[in-house]
Amino acid sequence: MRLAGILTGGFFGKSARRDDNVTARTVGRLVKPSVPVSDIDPVLAWSSIILLTLGLVMVYSASIAIAEGLDSYGFFQADYFLVQHAKSLCVGLVAGLIVFHVPMALWQRMAPWLFLIGVVLLAVTLGIGHVAGNSRRWLVFGSVTFQSSELMKLFVAIYAADYTVRKLDVMSSFKQGFMPMTVVILFVGCLLLLQPDFGAFVVIAAIAFGVLFLGGVSTRAFLLLCVAAIIGFILLVQVQPYMQARIRGFIDPWAYQFGDGFQLAQAQIAFGRGEWLGVGLGSSIQKLFYLTQPHTDFLLAVIAEELGFVGVFVVVGFFTLLVQRTFVIGREAIRLERYFSGLVAQAIGLWFGVQAFINMGSSMGLLPTKGITLPLMSYGGSGLLANCLALGILLRIDWETRMLKRRADT
């Protein structure tokens, strides 16, 4: 009965503040807005373009040896991953352009249904998903492979923002504001841990509970969640042998450099070889079958080796700019009482920031190694598509806010 109440009342309940419906009436039901360059946030646009472009270049550099050396990756074609990544980038950019033309009011109305679609995709993945590396995370449609957890990150960002707006008046209540979302996210977490995909679960939980915190959930409830998360992580480590192995490799990678600490040890070698300016683009040694996933999980290690500290600093700098702009855009929308749009923007900022931090921390040895990609840069069609969709929504939020401000000034 409790779950039924959550799904009927908390899940599909009417919003107490459908402020974006006002936006839809004010801005207009625009399907094809005319957007001058001055109406697009230049910092957000350029930081995204630079990260996407640098990612394309570095994916090619990091994957040449693997594509040439393994017949299973396209018959010894050195540019196999470059071509696939470029195709995914084109699809993602087109998809991002399409979602830019969708009013935020429509995203708010679709939020519960998008979340349900994501849950169904995760459940289907557990049933008929493709198995690789002892994980069942991918759905295969002919020649297309799709990772449902990547799209779920976007759906959770949208749903958490909608949920917070609907529960705004009771968000400080533990029972009415905090618990329903906790139950729903734990259910999603169970689906992800059965794959298993602990990294995606961490990112999704950070998005959902970060939005609740920004929306006004009580500090006591949030601190209780943090304590519960730490306890839950310790318990998971105790019952999951693969997580124990990664913790051992993290604590002392050189003691297990030919076993559990192999990936981290090789990544640290890459960082050490890069020094200040790197060994030169294309000249990495660690990508030659030492790093197991140089074009996905450990792309930053290849950047560190080939472009040095300067290259890593540039990547971190542009991610910092990107995340900072998402929060500025969100804060500006909230100032105009567009709460849903503002929370979606900040949820996307949390998503990019947390995932980038985990990926970078794993590559540098600050965190245990985790199979999670670097947003906007790493190889992976599903992740790139979800990232580009998020950027399209961000630009839409910024555009609608600018239109409202311009109308108010006139």
Closest to 326 measured CA to CA, from 347, 340, 298: 347
* Whole-number Å distance between alpha carbons of 336 and 27: 13
Q: Long-range CB contacts (< 8 A, 24+ apart) of 356-360? A: 356/319, 356/323, 358/199, 358/202, 358/203, 359/297, 359/300, 360/300, 360/316
* Whole-number Å distance between alpha carbons of 403 and 382: 32
246 vs 313 pLDDT, higher one: 313
DSSP letter, residue 174? I
Q: Crossing angle of helices 19-27/381-409, nearest 10°?
A: 70
Residues in the chain: 410
Note the pLDDT of residue 16.
44
In this structure, the number of other CB atoms found within 10 A of the CB of residue 87 comes to 12
Q: Long-range CB contacts (< 8 A, 24+ apart) of 86-91? A: 86/56, 87/381, 88/380, 88/381, 88/384, 88/385, 89/52, 89/56, 89/384, 89/388, 91/381, 91/385
Weakest-pLDDT range from 18-32, 107-121, 130-144, 273-287: 18-32
pLDDT band at 238; cut points 50, 70, 90: confident
Instruction: Give yes or no for a contact between 350 and 206, defined as CB atoms under 8 angstroms apart.
Output: yes
Note the pLDDT of residue 128.
87
Note the pLDDT of residue 220.
83
Give the range with max mean pLDDT: 138-147, 194-203, 308-317: 308-317
Q: Which residue has the tokens 């985790």?
A: 370
Instruction: Give yes or no for a contact between 11 and 112, defined as CB atoms under 8 angstroms apart.
Output: yes
Residue 23 confidence (pLDDT) above 80: no
Weakest-pLDDT range from 114-128, 237-251, 265-279, 350-364: 237-251
Quote the pTM value: 0.91
DSSP letter, residue 366? S
Which CA distances in Å does 148 have to 151, 152, 197, 201, 334?
6, 6, 11, 12, 30
* Whole-number Å distance between alpha carbons of 394 and 341: 9
- 224 in helix, strand or coil? helix
141 - beta bridge partners? 144
- 103 in helix, strand or coil? coil
- 144 in helix, strand or coil? strand
Average pLDDT on 220-226 reads 83
Q: Order of strands, edge to edge, in the sheet holding 130-132?
A: 130-132, 135-141, 144-147
The fraction of the chain above a pLDDT of 90, given in percent, is: 58
Average pLDDT on 186-199 reads 91
Average pLDDT on 121-125 reads 94
